[in-house]
């Protein structure tokens, strides 16, 4: 009786994950149909300020930062922010400034953060130094193509638009764990974003790229509104949408460098991300349980084998495996053109199983470690620093 109940759960989970795969397929087709947008002439493109918060050396940091110096756009400036001007990352920036003297650059020292969210503290200081009204916020660990701003800014200029954001490919540094995390970024993350955008429109933004108008940012309270929260990108898009502006998902795709080469680093990062989504959007996070396939395939294999129906169990497991391999192809290649999603589609089912583990782990603790500090998460994703522990 018990094994039969487990088998029913496994079949139900396989059904929901298959339905999710179909939704994802529709969302990818919809995403691919988006045009790259009408390109404005150079004379109509407004000047832009790029905001890049930094914190120490990261893998492939030089390549990531140099891609912004190579942007093809009529007029832009880059503002790099760090806690101190002797931050190791700024040494790379100074070298790039010498190599690309045509790009206007400012360096801003934010000092020790007065807010739990150190990134928002730094961005607040950087906005104060920005010359232009159109701002593009971008994480330190992303690489972009030369046409990055030419694709983003025309969408931002459309009537009623308050924010433009992008999906991204995972770009691993080295090792199995980095490759698995990159697959999750290209496939699992992108799938969730595209389905959410199809079903309810964009009500959030994604941290690797957020293009906003300065006046819109001011209307929602600036970065001070997110001073105590971990998911500042999600909340920024949410508040802009709540203020009556449109949040646009650009068809432009960028690369997100995976910084975590060891299993321990990867586990810590992905579990922290799962915890932040659990507190930022609890209902959506709970519903993620229905989108995985491999946990139900494994459960079906065990339950069927225990009841003497090994063939049935093998079929359930094979269906789940095929489901996830297809998801890797449909999203990883079909949406973000990640070549690794083709060569490693056979490995994605393992990443799906690990993703379920991260999801499950997010319910066992409310504590995270971020940039050397420990925090406790509260409703809405609010962070409270843990001291003396």
Give the bridge partners for 48, in sequence order.
76, 134
As a whole number of angstroms, the distance between CA 79 and CA 53 comes to 8
| One-character DSSP codes across 105-139 | EEEEE--S-SSS-HHHHHHHHHHTT--SSEEEE--
Residue 211: pLDDT above 70? yes
CB 99: neighbour CB atoms within 10 A?
10
Rounded to the nearest 5 degrees, what angle is found at the Cα of 259, between the Cα atoms of 254 and 260?
A: 135
* pLDDT of res. 389: 54
Indicate the SS3 state at residue 169.
strand
* pLDDT of res. 41: 60
C-alpha distance from residue 219 to each of 213, 215, 225, 236 (Å): 10, 6, 10, 11
* pLDDT of res. 155: 95
Of 223-227, 239-243, 378-382, which gets the smallest average pLDDT? 378-382
pLDDT digits (tens, 9 = 90+) for 83-141: 999 999 999 999 999 999 999 999 999 999 999 999 999 999 999 999 999 999 999 99
Structure token pair of residue 328:
């890797």
What does the radius of gyration of the chain's CA atoms come to, in whole angstroms? 22
CA-nearest of 192, 193, 205 to 242 is 205
Residue 38: pLDDT above 60? no
| pLDDT-based confidence at residue 71 (cuts at 50, 70, 90) | very high
What predicted TM-score, i.e. pTM, was given to this entire model? 0.95
* pLDDT of res. 322: 98
Name residues whose C-beta falls within 8 Å of residue 139's C-beta, 6 or more positions apart in sequence: 52, 53, 207, 208, 256
| pLDDT-based confidence at residue 154 (cuts at 50, 70, 90) | very high
pLDDT digits (tens, 9 = 90+) for 258-299: 876 677 888 888 999 999 999 999 999 999 999 999 999 999
Domain 37-265, what fold?
Answer: Spore Coat Polysaccharide Biosynthesis Protein SpsA; Chain A (3.90.550)
Name the residue with tokens 């925090």.
Answer: 375
* pLDDT of res. 373: 79
**Which percentage of the chain shows pLDDT scores above 90?**
85
As a whole number of angstroms, the distance between CA 95 and CA 97 comes to 5
* pLDDT of res. 81: 98
Give the bridge partners for 143, in sequence order.
255
Could you report how far apart the first and last alpha carbons of the chain are, in Å? 47
Of 126-135, 174-183, 198-207, 292-301, which gets the smallest average pLDDT? 174-183
* pLDDT of res. 39: 61
What average pLDDT score do residues 303-309 get?
91
As a whole number of angstroms, the distance between CA 52 and CA 161 comes to 22
Buried-state track 46-67, b at ≥16 Cβ within 10 A, e below 16: eebbbbbbbbeebbebeebbbb
Contact 84, 109 (CB under 8 A): yes
Longest dimension (CA), the chain: 73
The domain segmentation of the chain, as residue ranges, is: 2-30+281-384, 37-265
Mean confidence (pLDDT) of the chain: 94
């Amino acid at each position: 009786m018990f094994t039969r109940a487990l088998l029913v759960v496994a079949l139900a989970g396989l059904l929901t994950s298959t339905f999710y795969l179909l939704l994802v397929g529709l969302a990818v087709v919809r995403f691919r149909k988006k045009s790259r947008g009408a390109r404005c002439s150079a004379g109509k493109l407004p000047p832009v300020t790029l905001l890049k918060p930094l914190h120490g050396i990261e893998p492939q940091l030089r390549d990531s930062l140099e891609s912004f110096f190579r942007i093809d756009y009529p007029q832009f400036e880059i503002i790099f922010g760090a806690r101190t001007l002797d931050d190791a990352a700024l040494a790379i920036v100074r070298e790039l400034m010498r190599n690309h003297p045509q790009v206007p650059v400012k360096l801003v020292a934010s000092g020790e953060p007065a807010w739990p969210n150190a990134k928002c503290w730094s961005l607040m200081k950087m906005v104060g130094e920005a010359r232009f009204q159109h701002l593009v916020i971008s994480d330190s660990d992303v690489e972009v193509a030369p046409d990055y701003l030419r694709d983003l800014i025309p969408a931002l200029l459309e009537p009623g638009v308050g924010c433009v954001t992008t999906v991204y490919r995972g770009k691993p540094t080295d090792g199995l764990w980095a490759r698995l995390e990159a697959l999750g970024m290209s496939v699992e993350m992108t799938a969730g974003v595209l389905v959410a955008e199809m079903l309810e429109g964009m009500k959030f933004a994604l941290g690797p790229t957020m293009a906003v108008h300065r006046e819109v940012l001011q209307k929602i309270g600036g970065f001070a509104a997110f001073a105590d929260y971990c998911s500042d990108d999600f909340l920024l898009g949410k508040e802009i949408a709540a203020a009556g502006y449109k949040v646009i998902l650009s068809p432009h795709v960028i690369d997100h460098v995976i910084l975590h080469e060891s299993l321990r680093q990867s586990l810590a990062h992905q579990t922290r991300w799962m915890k932040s989504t659990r507190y930022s959007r609890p209902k959506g996070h709970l519903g993620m349980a229905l989108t995985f396939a491999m946990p139900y395939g494994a459960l079906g294999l065990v339950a069927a084998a225990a009841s003497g129906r090994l063939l049935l169990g093998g079929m359930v497991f094979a269906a789940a495996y095929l489901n996830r391999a297809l998801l890797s192809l449909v999203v990883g290649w079909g949406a973000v053109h990640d070549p690794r999603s083709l060569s490693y589609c056979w490995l994605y089912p393992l990443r799906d199983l690990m993703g379920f583990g991260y999801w499950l782990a997010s319910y066992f603790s409310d504590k995270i470690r971020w940039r050397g500090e420990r925090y406790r998460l509260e409703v809405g994703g609010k962070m409270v620093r843990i001291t003396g522990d």
